[in-house]
Structure 1
Amino acid sequence: MSFFGFGQSVEVEILLNDAESRKRAEHKTEDGKKEKYFLFYDGETVSGKVSLALKNPNKRLEHQGIKIEFIGQIELYYDRGNHHEFVSLVKDLARPGEITQSQAFDFEFTHVEKPYESYTGQNVKLRYFLRATISRRLNDVVKEMDIVVHTLSTYPELNSSIKMEVGIEDCLHIEFEYNKSKYHLKDVIVGKIYFLLVRIKIKHMEIDIIKRETTGTGPNVYHENDTIAKYEIMDGAPVRGESIPIRLFLAGYELTPTMRDINKKFSVRYYLNLVLIDEEERRYFKQQEVVLWRKGDIVRKSMSHQAAIASQRFEGTTSLGDVRTPSQLSDNNGRQ
C-alpha cells in the first residue's frame, strides 16, 4: 500500500502458528452470509506471526513502530461510532525505524481471557480479532483478522422440568410439560400437552422457538424478536382428556447459547411459544423461557489441552429459579 506515490508498498498478513490443525467454525456475518473462521475457546493462547512483504525490494519502508493487538469488542448498530472493548491486549513488534526487506515478526498472547461468545445479531455484534498496525506519518497500514470464540458449559446441576396449567376460565384448560428447563444446542425438547377442558373449537396448535435480543440500557432499550422455528404439534380439534406429545430437535436450527447482560450491553434469550388457533382464526399463546447452552463434551476430543482446561473451569449457566405462577393464556386481544 503506497500513499500519494511516496514511501514503500507493503503487504501485511497475519498467520496463526496452528492454522493447519485448528478447527474452523461457521459464523454469520453482518450481511447474513456464513463464513468460516478459526475457532478459539476461553483461556487458549493465540500465537503466530505478522508477515510483511515489500512489493518493491529496491525501496525502503519507514515507520513509527509496528504492533499487534488482540481485541474483543461490542458494537451496537445504533451507536456505530463507539466500540466497547472488553479485551484489549497489545504487543510491540518493532521500534520506529525502516524496513529494507520482507520479514516476519512472532507474537504470542498467552492464555487469553475470552469471556463471551462471538455473536452477530439484529442490533449488536460481538467480535474478536487480531489487528496488526504499521504506524506511519501520513496513514497507518492496518490488517485485521477475525476469529470466532465459543463458550463451553458443563451440564447444569439443577435442570428441573417445566410444568404449568394455563387456560381461559370455563373455555379452555390445558396442562403442558417440558422435560427440562435448560437444553444444549443439539438437544431434543420432549414434552406433552394434556387437555383438561376444551370448549373452544381449536383447529391448529404449534410451538415456536423465539429469540429475543435486547440491547441498550434505560430509555434506549431495543427489543428484537426473531422466530427461529415453527413446529406443528396438532392439526385438528382436540377433545377432553387427549394428550399430545412434543418432540422437537434443536440441532437443525441456528441457535446460540443464552446470553444474559453481556458486558451490560445486550442479552439474548430464548422462549418456547405455545400457540393455539381456533376456527375463527383467533390466536391464544403462552411463552416460557428456556436456557440454551453449548455442550463441551462433543468438541473436547478435537480441542487443545488449553481449551479442555478452560471448559472444565467454566461454570454452567445460572438457574432460572422457580417456575412462575400459572397465568391465563392471552385471548385474541393479545394476538401476535
Structure 2
Amino acid sequence: MITTRHVLSSVLLLAATVACGSAEGSAVAGGPEVTELRYQGSVGAVTFAELAEELGYLGGVKLKWVGDTTSGPQDIQSAATGQVDFGGAFNGAIIKLRAAGAPIRAVVGYYGSDERSFNGYYVPEGSPIRTARDLIGKRIGVNTLGAHHEAVIKEYLRREGLTPDEIKRVELVVIPPVNTEQALRQGQLDVGTLGGVLKDKALERGGLRPLFTDVGLIGPFTAGSVVLREDFIADNPGTTRAFVSGFARAVLWAQTRSREEVVATYEKIIAKRGRNEEATTVRYWKSTGIAGQGGVIADKEFQTWIDWLRREGELQPGQVRLTDLFTNEFNPYAKGHAS
C-alpha cells in the first residue's frame, strides 16, 4: 500500500536527486537527449515497451531491463525517484503519488478490463454470499491495498448501498495472487480476487462462481497508465515522443492482431531475452483490456478514481487536476490517426 510516509520519502529523494543534477536517465539541460530507457519488467510476461522494441517501433530509443517490479505502486515510485525512467500502475495509485507531490505524468494506458480480460471476485459455488450486504464481516483477498482491487471492491459496495461504516466492516486481506485460489477453496478467504491466467486456471478446475467483476461494474475501461517524470519529458521531448508513439503503436498492434499472432510474438520475445523464465502464462493471453485506441487515455479513467479517493478522504477537492495527471500529447492516436 502506498502510505503517506513512503510517498513523501520518495518525493524528497527525487527532489534531492534533481537538486544535485545527477539523476540518471535525464539529459543535461541543453545537452543530447537520453536514448536508453531503464525499466522494470514482469516474470513470464511481455510489456508493451518490450513488444514495441521487438516490432521496431521505438526508432533509436533502446530499453535497459534493470529487474522485475513487485507491484504497480512500487514501479511508479521507482520512476518518480529516478531509479527507472518509466513505470506503470493503476490510475488511482498514480493520482495518490501525484497528490503527494511526485512530479510524474501519465502518458499512455497499458492495461485494463474488457469482456475477455477482466478481474473477478469469486466465491465457492456453495457459498451463502450472494449480495454486497453478505460481505459485511467477511474477508476478501486482494494482491495489494490502495490499488485497483481495493478501489473496485469499495466502488461495488458503495453502489450496492452499503454505508461507509458497513464498508469498513468488509475486511481486505493482502495475499499473493498465486495463493488466492487455494486460500479461497480452503476457507481462509470468503472471496478471492482472480484475474488473468490464475483466473482461467481456477475456473477450469470448477467449483467457483463470480460475485461480480470489474468490467461488469464499470464497463470496459483502461485501468492503468505508464508514467514519466516531468523533468524527463522536458529534457527529452524527442525521446518521449518516440517512446510513447512506439508504445502506442505496440498497443494498437496487439489490439488488432489475432490472438495466435500476439501469443507467438510474446513467446518469441521471452525466449530471446534469456531471463530463465517460462512462457506458459502468455498462452492464456486473450486481449489487451485497453479501452482507448493505442492506449489513448480518457478523462473518466482518472476522474472515476479521483472521485473515489475524495470519498475515501484521501484526496481534497482541488488537490489535483486532470491536466496535472496525464497527457495524450505524445500519443499519435489521440487525434484519430498515427503520425
Provide TM-score, normalisation by structure 2.
Answer: 0.26
Compare relative contact order (CA 8 Å, sep 6+) and give the higher one, 1 or 2: 2
- Which structure features the higher share of strand residues? 1
More helix by share: 2
| Larger CA Rg, structure 1 vs 2 | 1
TM-score, normalization: structure 1? Answer: 0.26
